[in-house]
Structures are given as structure tokens and as C-alpha cells.
Structure 1
Amino acid sequence: METLNPRIRLVWGVGVLVTAAVLGVGVGVADRFALGVGAWIAVVAAVAVLGVGVGYVLVKYRVWAFEVRDDDLYLERGVLTRVHTVVPFVRVQHVDTQRGPIERAAGLSSVVVYTAGSRGADVTIPGLTPDRADALQERLRRLAIESEGDFDAV
């Protein structure tokens, strides 16, 4: 099984930090105009979300793994609910790499595998270096083409 680059924890952590800050400001505004409890409630809310969020990110990183097998792509992920996903190469429509602004700042990239099937059947592998993402994209593309040829021969 392959794991993600450790810098993905930073990317996910930025999301937690933004969420904690927005919640803290929201609670502070609510306190100012409605609650009247005191500004400390905003700080407590933000710190609590930040603490839980950091713990969540650390566990999420530990359980996230993927493997390119002979006939499919296998992914394991999830903190509260463990998700095991198998994507047969014959179902792969196309494969993209993407880099959001925070990923670019961290020197990371993601691979998105689009599959034939229902809406939401796409899978994303985050936390890859750009070179690793490009190599994985090419490998998955090649395996999808090869499996399409095997499927036509049957």
C-alpha cells in the first residue's frame, strides 16, 4: 500500500485552521449581538474546533492509503467511517491531476480518477508530489487503455 506525502497534513490543517477562525468569529459576533456571555466563548469554540480538527487530520493521514493492483485501483480512507474503494480499470473514463492554491504552496498535487457510473463515482488521491501525480496519472491511463482492450477481446 502506498501512503500520501506527509505535507498533506499541512494542507488539511490549513482547512481546519480556517474553519476554527470562521467559527470563532461567528461565535464572537453572535456573542456581541445576542448571547452576551463574553468574548471568551469565541476563543473556547475556536480552540476546541482546532484541537479536534488537528486530531482528525493526524488520524486521517494515518489511515489514507492506496494501491494500484493488476486489475483495479484500491483505496482505504476514513476516520469515523472506513471506506474501501475498488475502481476497476475497465470503468475508468479519464484521469486528471489538479493542484489547488494551498496544494501548490505545499508542493503537492492530486490525481482525480473519473469513472463510468453514477454521479459521485469519481475518486481523488490527494497528497502526491507533482512528479508522483503525473507518473500515477500516466500509469492509470495506460492500465485503463490496456483493460479496455482486454474487455473488448472477451
Structure 2
Amino acid sequence: MEALNPRVRFVWFAGTLLTALVLGAMAAAVDRFVVDVGVWVVAAVGVAALVFGVAYVVLKYRVWRFEIRDDDLYLERGVFTRVTTVVPFVRVQHVDTQRGPVERLLGLGSVVVYTAGSRGADVTIPGLTPDRATDLQRRLRNLAIESESEDAV
């Protein structure tokens, strides 16, 4: 099983930091305009959100794994709810790479595997170096093509 690049934790931490700032700002707005809860409560909301967010990022990174097997892509992820996903190559429609601004800053990217199926049937593998993402995209595409031709025989 392959782990994600450790720098993905910083991408996830950026989201956690943003969430903590928004929750802190909301608590400050409640303190200012609705009920005087005090500056300590406002600070506690922001700090608690940050602490829980950091713990969540650490646990998420420890669990996230993927593997390319003979006939499918296998993924394990999830902190509170463990999710195991198996994507047969014959179900793969196309494969993209993507790099958001924070990912580009940290030299990372993601691979998105779109599958035949219901809405939301795509799988994203985050935290890959650009070279690894491109290599994985190419490999998954080739395996999907091979599976399609074997299925037709």
C-alpha cells in the first residue's frame, strides 16, 4: 500500500486553519452583535477548532492509503468512518490530474479517477508529487484501456 506525500498534511492544514478562522470570526460576531460571551470564549472556539482540525489531519494522513492491484485501484481512507473503495479498471472512464493553488505552492497534485456509475462516482488521490501524479494518471489510463480490450474479447 502506498502512502501519500507527507506535504499533503500542509494542504489539509490550510483548510483547517481557514475553518478555525471562520469559526473564530463567527464567534466574535456573536460576541459583538448578539450576546456578550467574552473574548475568552471567542478565543476558545478558534483554538478548539484548530486543535481538533490538526488532530483530524494527523489521523487522516495515517489512514489514507492506495494501491494499484491486478484488476483494480484499491483505496483506504477516513477518520471517523473508514471507507474502502475498489475501482475496477473496466469502470474507469477517464483520469485527470489537478493542482490547486496550495498544492502548487507545496509541489503537489492530485489524480481524479472518473468511473462509470452514479453521480459522485469519482475518486481523488491527493498528495502526489506532479511526476507521480502524471505517472499514476498514465498508468491508470493504460490499465483501463487494457481492461476494456480484454473485456471485449
> What SS does the aligned partner of 1:35 have?
coil
1:25 maps to 25
**Residue 14 of structure 1: how far off its partner (Å):** 0.5
Map 1:58-77 to 2 at 5 A.
58-77=58-77
1:100 maps to 100
Q: How many angstroms apart in 2 are the aligned matches of 1:41 and 1:34?
A: 14
Q: How many angstroms apart in 2 are the aligned matches of 1:108 and 1:7?
A: 8
2:53 maps to 53
User: Alignment RMSD, CA only?
Assistant: 0.5
Note the alpha carbon deviations across 1:105-138, whole angstroms, 9 max, x for none.
Answer: 1110000000000001100000000000000000
Gaps of 5+ in 1: none
> What SS does the aligned partner of 1:96 have?
strand
Length-normalised TM-score, structure 2: 0.99
Code of the aligned partner of 1:136? L
> What SS does the aligned partner of 1:94 have?
strand
Map 1:116-135 to 2 at 5 A.
116-135=116-135
Q: How many angstroms apart in 2 are the aligned matches of 1:37 and 1:7?
A: 38
2:145 maps to 145
Aligned positions, number: 153
Note the alpha carbon deviations across 1:16-44, whole angstroms, 9 max, x for none.
Answer: 00000011011001111111121221110
Map 1:80-91 to 2 at 5 A.
80-91=80-91
Moved over 2 A (4+): none
- Identity over aligned residues, as a percent? 69
Length-normalised TM-score, structure 1: 0.98
> What SS does the aligned partner of 2:34 have?
helix
Code of the aligned partner of 1:118? S
Code of the aligned partner of 1:141? R
Q: How many angstroms apart in 2 are the aligned matches of 1:27 and 1:75?
A: 37
**Residue 92 of structure 1: how far off its partner (Å):** 0.2
